[in-house]
Amino acid sequence: MDGFGDREQALLARARRVLPAGGFGNFAPEVILERGLGGRVWDVADREYVDYLLGSGPMFIGHCHPEVTEVVQDQLSRGTTFFANNEHGIALAEAIVDAVPCAEQLRFVGSGTEADLYAMRLARAFRGRDKILKFEGGYHGMSDYGLMSLAPRHLANFPRPVPDSAGIPKSVAEDVLVAPFNDLEAVTRLVEAEGETIAGIIVEPLQRLIPPAPGFLEGLRALCTKHGLVLIFDEVVTGFRFAYGGAQAFYGVTPDLCTLGKTIGGGFPLAAVAGRAEIMAHFDKALVGEDGFLMQVGTLSGNPVAAVAGLKTLEILRRPGTYEAVFATGRALMQGLAEQIARAGLPAQVVGEPTLFDVVYATGEVRDYRATLRADRAMQAHVNRVLRQDGILKGESKFYVSTAHEARDVDQTLTAFARALATLPSR
């Protein structure tokens, strides 16, 4: 294991003994991080990185923000979880309802996967129908329903779903319909043919990196209203990242339900499903009766540590100029990457929004999942590898930008990107 110190090698060996594939299933297992501060992290060998991974998104205001640390430390001395209501969780729910256009009520859960699972279950309970329509390439957590046609290795004709994992019952495919993202005509045809069996449509407003085409989200809203379907925005990633009211405020389209995660927990496990009160009523047996009741229990749901971290994070995000600053940082990075791509004459483009984007190593418009399959994966892997060698940490296909990133981080990133492009194998 060239390039790894004794401590790293020992930790990797220990991990391989007790962890399948030697890791947690999230990120490259050879990256063993030890601490973070602001927009940077350090590994166990004390190598420093500009951090665009951000824990896969939660650290939107940076690592170890002193104000978040202070309130968390205070709460730790008072209790970590109670399995009962607590004032901080109630206050966080109030803050979210005040901020998010579709949210009249919400229910906390422990992860984005749970939030998406419950949102789909709510839609089925509310409409009394079984089928959910989702989009090929859309990620909605690790449930059986979520792992249908996320990244299918073998493309199927729409609307047939393809399971992305072993262990998913074949029967799940009967209740999932799949459409191409950004193709409103295809969705309309599908809804008109299957509408009486569909409970709702779940969509990432920004699908992984791909922005919605003009009119696409508005068209989904109109279609769901016309046919009585529940429109679900999966905002686990985009919630409070694109605007204080989330992607639904950013794009100006209000769903019936949304899911939230990552940012609302301030770095601690917390997520939520939120939406119209008449749909959320299915969590209240007194309102809907035994047959309409949707049971939901979570040991750590709304725990006070995550709640105080989330409350403080939202308070910080409300401060004047916060979103303007992080968007300016993201735009500078996107523009710098695009300029270098153009100078190098590469078949690549920057895709996404200023707080969440990446380089897609392909030409032509990127409107849906199948368009991303044109990307040169070897080129992408080479660039990511060189970036990491030069102290830039990012996901396989994402730059998460935080409010803690600075001009020097952008400069270091662009310098590393230039070296990565200069060292590309001959094409």
Phi, psi of 23 (to 5 degrees): -150, -175
Q: Which CATH superfamily includes the segment(s) 31-64+322-422? A: Aspartate Aminotransferase, domain 1 (3.90.1150.10)
The CA-atom distances, in angstroms, between 269 and each of 86, 90, 258, 301, 310 are 16, 16, 18, 9, 10
| pTM of the entire predicted model | 0.96
Structure tokens at 35: 């601490």
> Helices marked H in 36-133 — which ranges?
66-76, 87-99, 112-127
Q: Which residues is 176 bridged to in the sheet?
A: 132
β-pairing, 271-275 vs 48-51, is unpaired
Cβ neighbors of 341 (< 8 A, separation 6 or more) are 348, 349, 350, 359, 421
Query: Is residue 1 predicted with pLDDT exceeding 50?
Result: no
Q: What's the average model confidence in pLDDT over 366-383?
A: 96
Interatomic CA distance for residues 401 and 54, integer angstroms: 8
What pLDDT score does 427 carry?
56
Coil vs helix vs strand at 230: strand
332-351 pLDDT per residue, tens: 999 999 999 999 999 999 99
Structure tokens at 207: 């699908």
CA 63, CA 406: separation in Å to the nearest integer? 14
Given 3-state DSSP classes, what are the helix, strand and coil percentages for the chain, each rounded to the nearest 5?
A: 45, 15, 40
Nearest to 204 by CA among 186, 224, 181, 188: 181
pLDDT in tens, 217-252: 999 999 999 999 999 999 999 999 999 999 999 999
Cβ 273 vs Cβ 115: under 8 Å: yes
| CA diameter of the chain | 68
Give 5's pLDDT tier (boundaries 50, 70, 90).
confident
**Tokens matching residue 239:** 């919630």
**Mean of the pLDDT values across residues 377-402?**
96
Distance CA 52, CA 41 (A): 10
- For the chain, give the mean pLDDT: 96
Provide the pLDDT confidence category of residue 87 given band limits of 50, 70 and 90: very high
CA 272/CA 110 separation, integer angstroms: 8
Known active-site residue 234: yes
Q: Which of 234, 256, 358, 368 is catalytic?
A: 234
C-alpha 413/C-alpha 398 separation (Å) is 14
Where does the pLDDT of residue 2 fall: very low under 50, low under 70, confident under 90, or very high at 90 and above? low
DSSP, res 137: T
Determine whether 213 is exposed, middle or buried from the number of CB atoms within 10 Å of its CB (0-12, 13-18, 19+).
Answer: middle
C-alpha to C-alpha distance for 72 and 303, rounded to whole angstroms: 12
Residue 39: predicted pLDDT = 98
Q: Which CATH number fits domain 66-317: 3.40.640.10, 3.40.50.20, 3.40.50.2300, 3.40.50.300?
A: 3.40.640.10
Q: What does each C-alpha distance from 79 to 76, 269, 271 come to in angstroms?
A: 5, 16, 20
Question: One fold for both 31-64+322-422 and 66-317?
Answer: no
Look at residues 267, 239, 242, 238 and name the one whose alpha carbon lies nearest to residue 67. Answer: 267
378 phi and psi, to 5 degrees?
Answer: -65, -40
Domain chopping of the chain, boundaries: 31-64+322-422, 66-317
Of 120, 122, 124, 126, the closest CA to residue 138 belongs to: 120
Residues 6+ apart with CB under 8 A from 270: 108, 110, 261, 264, 302, 303, 306, 307, 310
Rounded Cα–Cα distance for residues 58 and 345 (Å): 35
Of 134, 262, 312, 398, the catalytic one is 262
Residue from 139, 323, 369, 400 carrying the catalytic annotation: 139
DSSP β-bridge partners for residue 230: 200
131 catalytic per annotation: no
Q: How far apart are the first and last CA of the chain?
A: 29
Tell me the mean pLDDT in the region 285-313. 97
Categorize the per-residue pLDDT at 271 as very low, low, confident or very high, splitting at 50, 70 and 90: very high
Residue 139 among the catalytic residues: yes
- Which tokens hold the place of 62? 């940076």
Is the confidence at residue 304, as pLDDT, over 70?
Answer: yes
| Whether residue 3 has pLDDT greater than 70 | no
